[in-house]
């Protein structure tokens, strides 16, 4: 059985305007799965529908046996799914440590040990624990945002364009971090503009076009597919 199973998901920012129009996908335990597609295909919207930031107008979202479509984001968060927004994903005027504390706002008892574990995992964050988040570089900020999401010990991490706005070098480091996290046992579903990089580290991928899954398969196969290459991978 899948860790996450999405079936016929529909929805958008307003009820009258569905951006995601019956998309189905799944994520297995321990996988990295990418969601790629042209601009405006509804990739980020799909993540927000799954994470509970937007309310689906139809379809099913099943996380480990539980139907979660329509639950609020915080309830979904407690069931082991963490969403990392693309922008404004840290508390800029708070310190790194405070950001991590807010990451586990609903589970304050575990906060201390988890912060220590994350500091061990990301020494950069430990070095900057007293720095305000707004002083971090783009890549560091992205790592902090992921670390905040990890504060609830999720089984599945949803990443919305994690490499957006990063330099090629910072993006490369970030992808390495994502791979390392995945080795620790966290499954990852990510939306990426940087499709080639994303496919390189993914097991499987879905191509979303106009709110529906147009292609799916092993990442390597999609990368080799000429039509996909033409569309997203710059030939």
Partner 1 sequence: MDAILQAAVNGLVAGAILALPAIGFTAMFAVLRFPNFAVAAFATLGAYGGWMANAWLGWPVVAALLAAFVLAGAAGAVTQRVALDALRPAGPLTVAIAAIAANVILENVLRFAFGNDLLGFDLPLARDVRFGSLRIGPQQIENLILAVAVMAALFAFLAFTRIGKAMRATADNPDLARLKGIEPRRVELLAVFVGAGLCGAGGMLLGLDTSIDPLTGFRIVLSVFAAAVVGGLGSIPGAVAGALLIGLAEELATLAIAPTYKSAIGFVAILLTLSLRPRGLLGERAY
Give the footprint of partner 1 on this chain (CB under 8 A).
53, 73-74, 77-78, 83, 85, 88-94, 98, 101-103, 105-106, 108, 148
Q: How far is the CB of 167 from partner 1 (least distance, A)?
A: 24
Rounded CA-CA distance 177/86 in Å is 17
The nearer residue to partner 1, 132 or 201, going by C-beta atoms, is 132
157, 82 Cβ separation under 8 angstroms = yes
Q: How far is the CB of 41 from partner 1 (least distance, A)?
A: 23
Rounded CA-CA distance 180/8 in Å is 32
Q: How far is the CB of 15 from partner 1 (least distance, A)?
A: 17
The nearer residue to partner 1, 102 or 179, going by C-beta atoms, is 102
Q: How far is the CB of 91 from partner 1 (least distance, A)?
A: 5
The nearer residue to partner 1, 88 or 183, going by C-beta atoms, is 88
The nearer residue to partner 1, 75 or 196, going by C-beta atoms, is 75
The nearer residue to partner 1, 105 or 218, going by C-beta atoms, is 105
The nearer residue to partner 1, 68 or 207, going by C-beta atoms, is 68
Q: How far is the CB of 93 from partner 1 (least distance, A)?
A: 5
Q: How far is the CB of 145 from partner 1 (least distance, A)?
A: 9
């Amino acid at each position: 059985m899948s860790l996450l199973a999405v079936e016929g998901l529909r929805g958008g920012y307003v009820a009258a305007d569905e951006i995601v129009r019956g998309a189905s996908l799944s994520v297995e335990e321990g996988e990295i799965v990418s969601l790629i597609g042209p601009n405006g295909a509804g990739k980020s919207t799909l993540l927000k529908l799954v994470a509970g930031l937007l309310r689906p107008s139809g379809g099913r979202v099943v996380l480990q046996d539980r139907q979660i479509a329509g639950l609020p984001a915080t309830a979904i968060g407690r069931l082991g799914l963490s969403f990392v927004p693309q922008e404004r994903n840290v508390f800029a005027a708070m310190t790194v440590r405070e950001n991590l504390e807010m990451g586990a706002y609903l589970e304050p008892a575990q906060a201390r040990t988890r912060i220590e574990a994350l500091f061990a995992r990301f020494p950069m964050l430990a070095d900057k624990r007293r720095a305000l988040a707004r002083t971090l570089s783009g890549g560091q900020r992205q790592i902090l945002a992921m670390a905040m999401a990890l504060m609830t010990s999720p089984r599945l991490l949803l990443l919305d364009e994690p490499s957006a706005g990063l330099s090629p070098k910072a993006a490369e480091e970030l992808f390495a971090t994502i791979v390392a996290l995945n080795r620790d046992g966290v499954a990852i579903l990510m939306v990426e503009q940087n499709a080639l990089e994303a496919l390189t580290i993914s097991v499987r991928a879905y191509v979303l076009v106009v709110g529906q899954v147009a292609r799916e398969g092993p990442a390597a196969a999609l990368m080799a597919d000429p039509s996909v290459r033409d569309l997203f991978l710059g030939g």
